Chains A and B, each alone.
Chain A
Amino acid sequence: AQKVTQAQTEISVVEKEDVTLDCVYETRDTTYYLFWYKQPPSGELVFLIRRNSFDEQNEISGRYSWNFQKSTSSFNFTITASQVVDSAVYFCALSGGSQGNLIFGKGTKLSVKP
């Protein structure tokens, strides 16, 4: 069975701190895809990144970076120099190679205080 675990329910940081959101996944598929989404207080789900299981290269996009490690089945997300606008619920998700639907973790609520 496929499963995504986000152990951190809530994190609170002060602006300009770095913060890492953890994501651990379980799957038996050899081909799979990992995703991060952001859900700000307004409620929409904003796509951040997609990674396939064959690409373990870390990725950086501005203040955001992602660390994918197959050996530990983790796909962690780091925000550098956090800002108040980063306050949101962040979801990690997984889809198997033959199925397109996403399996979501329960989300991590990030609060960035000024």
Chain B
Amino acid sequence: GESVGLHLPTLSVQEGDNSIINCAYSNSASDYFIWYKQESGKGPQFIIDIRSNMDKRQGQRVTVLLNKTVKHLSLQIAATQPGDSAVYFCAERGSGRGGATNKLIFGTGTLLAVQP
């Protein structure tokens, strides 16, 4: 029979539209956040990051917003292109005894499907 897997949230957008992908994180002490893009058959690829002392950071066609009050992170992609179709993961860097760790906690991911 079919295997039951994670049900990835899917965002379907038209080419040229703006995309907003959301993520809720778990640890209020996390000090660093990263968005990764994973295309089929490839490893996660860094897109943009933000430190906890910022609430917005912009890159080329991408913007990350951080709302620490509600522990929410979003990725905005302007003028979405077919090449943006992929699974997008947010990741938080937690803190442990003695300060920040290198350990990243990944969200379950969102599938972005860009319709031509």
A binds B: no
Residues of A within 8 A of B (CB): none
Residues of chain B whose beta carbon lies under 8 Å from any beta carbon of chain A:
none
